[in-house]
Amino acid sequence: MRIISGKHKGRRISAPKNLPVRPTTDMSKEALFNILRHKIHIHDIKMLELFAGSGNMSYEFCSRGAGSVIAVDQHQPCIAFIKKTAELLEFPIDT
CATH code assigned at 56: 3.40.50.150
CB 53 within 8 A of CB 19: yes
Provide the domain limits for residue 83.
26-88
Residue 93 has pLDDT above 90, yes or no: no
Q: What is the pLDDT of residues 13-46, one digit of tens each?
A: 998 998 999 889 999 999 999 999 889 999 989 9
Q: Is residue 2 situated within a structural domain?
A: no
Question: What's the domain count of the chain?
Answer: 1
* pTM exceeds 0.75 for this model: yes
Q: Is residue 84 situated within a structural domain?
A: yes
Q: Is residue 31 situated within a structural domain?
A: yes
- The number of CA neighbours under 13 Å toward the Cβ of 53 is 13
Q: Is residue 80 situated within a structural domain?
A: yes
Q: Is residue 3 situated within a structural domain?
A: no
Q: Is residue 5 situated within a structural domain?
A: no
